[in-house]
Amino acid sequence: MKFAAALVTSLLIVGSTGPAAAQGVDADAAQALAKKSGCLKCHSVSQKKDAPSYREIAAKYKGKADAEKALHKHLTTSPKVKVDGKEEEHDSLKTKNDADVMNVVRWILSR
Amino acid sequence: MIRQSWEKLRSRCERCARTTLILGTTLVALLFAGILMAAGAAGLAWTNTEKFCIGCHEMRDNVYAEFKGTIHDTNRSGVRAICSDCHVPREPGPMLMRKVQATFELYGHFVTGVINTKEKFEKHRYDMAKRVWTRMKETDSLECRNCHHASAMDPEKQSERAKNRHAKMKSEGLTCIDCHFGIAHKEPDGGPGPRELKIGKR
């Protein structure tokens, strides 16, 4: 009985903390790295700028199994992107720490 | 003593006494007005200092804490922009208007405590940001242009990306805040951003 109560309580706690907290995303660190890397010059979290907002990106990848892998590649390999019809090189995150990259990836996907 | 001298002057020359009285009164009035103006200017200058702005915890613990470490706080050249540089116009008329508006914020601070906790601040963050964005769009980002002059920008010294974006600003009639928002403070969640705000005149 005690075990069942503890299990229910644990599940409730995990369920109430949301996707970001469940995946252990450090939102402040992710935002700081995004800012340091110049991402916020073109992207915004939820408002319109020249590039899609992180909320739009999260919606685009929602439910896709390879979302994290695809976004990780996008943020580390400087792919070509089109902005206002012109091709530009997308900047990579300014870090060599893969855990920091994954933190930003998960932060974006949890918007 | 003064009275005696005055009576003496009056008895000798009535006209001289009257002229002295008018000149003396004018001088005292001018001196008084000068002191008042100097005190007013000093008071206004004081309300534009960083120390004054972070005198209340609502600013110090939220927007000022976010501002620390940003490009406008610390950078390679050491030129800083403090709160008033971005939030108070420099021209006397608009500055006085802004100061009058700001006095209403004292009501929120002392009476209603509308943003006196982190939770309350977050709840009102978007509305406060929207007010600043709206004002900056109406004034073509006046406070940005106190330091950044589009006419003085040399595209050759800008990255290709910045060059393209600034060309777009000119061709599409955008203003600084349309793109450069959320650079000194956290971006508020929800609601339209500056570019989506419909502003009547500019």
**DSSP, residue by residue, B12-27:** H-HHHHHHHHHHHHHH
Name the burial class of residue A55, with classes exposed (0-12), middle (13-18) and buried (19+) by CB atoms within 10 angstroms of its CB: middle
Residue A18 maps to a domain:
no
The residue segments making up the domain with residue B104 are 56-196
Q: Count of residues for chain A?
A: 111
- CA-nearest residue to A34 within chain B is B183
More confident residue, A91 or A4: A91
Distance from C-alpha of B121 to C-alpha of B142, rounded to nearest angstrom: 26
The residue segments making up the domain with residue A94 are 23-109
* pLDDT confidence bin for A84, thresholds 50/70/90: confident
Same structural domain, B94 and B155: yes
Judged by CB atoms closer than 8 Å, whether chains meet at B194 and A47 is answered as yes
Q: In this predicted structure, which of A83-92, B9-18, B52-61 has the lowest mean pLDDT?
A: B9-18
Is residue B157 scored above 60 in pLDDT?
yes
What mean pLDDT is predicted for residues A57-75? 95
What mean pLDDT is predicted for residues B184-190? 88
Judged by CB atoms closer than 8 Å, whether chains meet at B179 and A48 is answered as no
Residue in A41, A42, A43, A47 to test binding to B, most B beta-carbons within 10 Å: A47
Same structural domain, B14 and B112: no
Residue A10 maps to a domain:
no
Same structural domain, B74 and B37: no
* Element containing residue A83 per DSSP (H, E): strand A80-83
Report how many domains make up chain A: 1
What mean pLDDT is predicted for residues B104-124? 92
Same structural domain, B65 and B152: yes
* pLDDT confidence bin for B198, thresholds 50/70/90: confident
Q: Tell me the H-state helices in chain B.
A: 2-12, 14-47, 50-53, 57-58, 65-67, 83-87, 92-107, 118-138, 142-145, 160-172, 176-179
Contacts of residue B195, defined as CB under 8 A and 6 or more positions apart, other chains included, come to A47, A48, A49, B174, B178, B179
For residue B164, list chain A residues with Cβ-Cβ distance below 8 A: 83-84, 86, 88
What mean pLDDT is predicted for residues B16-24? 88
Residue B202 maps to a domain:
no
Is residue A54 scored above 50 in pLDDT?
yes
Judged by CB atoms closer than 8 Å, whether chains meet at B161 and A45 is answered as no
Residue A35 maps to a domain:
yes
pLDDT at B178: 95
Residue A39 maps to a domain:
yes
Q: In this predicted structure, which of A9-18, A56-65, B35-44, B178-187 has the lowest mean pLDDT?
A: A9-18
Same structural domain, B65 and B161: yes
Same structural domain, B106 and B152: yes
Residue A102 maps to a domain:
yes
**What separation, in Å, do the N-terminal and C-terminal C-alpha atoms of chain B show?**
65
Judged by CB atoms closer than 8 Å, whether chains meet at A48 and B186 is answered as no
Same structural domain, B73 and B159: yes
Q: How far is A52 from chain B (nearest CA, A)?
A: 13
Residue A92 maps to a domain:
yes
Q: Which of A96-110, B13-27, B179-193 reaches the highest mean pLDDT?
A: A96-110
Judged by CB atoms closer than 8 Å, whether chains meet at A45 and B183 is answered as no
Share of chain B above pLDDT 90, in %: 67
Pairs of residues, one from chain A and one from chain B, whose beta carbons lie less than 8 Å apart: 45
Share of chain A above pLDDT 90, in %: 63
Q: Which residue, B47, B67, B83, sits at the end of a domain?
A: B47
Is residue B55 scored above 60 in pLDDT?
yes
Q: Which long-range contacts (CB under 8 A, 24 or more apart) does A94-99 make?
A: A94/A33, A94/A36, A94/A37, A94/A38, A95/A33, A95/A37
* pLDDT confidence bin for A28, thresholds 50/70/90: confident
pLDDT at A16: 40
Distance from C-alpha of B83 to C-alpha of A14, rounded to nearest angstrom: 41
Q: How far is CA B10 from CA B7, B28, B141, in A?
A: 5, 20, 62
Contact A40/B182 with Cβ under 8 angstroms?
yes
Distance from C-alpha of B183 to C-alpha of B71, rounded to nearest angstrom: 8
Same structural domain, B19 and B81: no
Residue B201 maps to a domain:
no
Same structural domain, B25 and B81: no
- CA-nearest residue to A35 within chain B is B183
Is residue A35 scored above 50 in pLDDT?
yes
Judge whether A40 is closer than 8 Å to chain B, CB to CB.
Answer: yes
Residue B177 maps to a domain:
yes
Judged by CB atoms closer than 8 Å, whether chains meet at A88 and B194 is answered as no
Same structural domain, B83 and B166: yes
Residue A38 maps to a domain:
yes
> How does the average pLDDT of chain B come out, rounded?
91
Is residue A83 scored above 90 in pLDDT?
no
Same structural domain, B2 and B74: no
Is residue B24 scored above 80 in pLDDT?
yes
**Could you give the ipTM of this predicted complex?**
0.70
* pLDDT confidence bin for B9, thresholds 50/70/90: confident
Residue in B118, B179, B197 to test binding to A, most A beta-carbons within 10 Å: B179
Distance from C-alpha of A35 to C-alpha of B111, rounded to nearest angstrom: 37
Q: What CATH number did the domain enclosing A96 receive?
A: 1.10.760.10
Judged by CB atoms closer than 8 Å, whether chains meet at B182 and A31 is answered as no
In A72-90, which positions are buried (b, 16+ CB within 10 angstroms) versus exposed (e)? Answer: bebbeeeeeeeeeeeebee
Is residue A1 scored above 90 in pLDDT?
no
Q: Tell me the H-state helices in A17-97.
A: 18-22, 27-36, 54-61, 67-76
pLDDT at A19: 47
pTM exceeding 0.90:
no
Residue A67 maps to a domain:
yes
More confident residue, B26 or A35: B26
Report how many domains make up chain B: 2
Residue in A42, A49, A80 to test binding to B, most B beta-carbons within 10 Å: A49
pLDDT at A23: 62
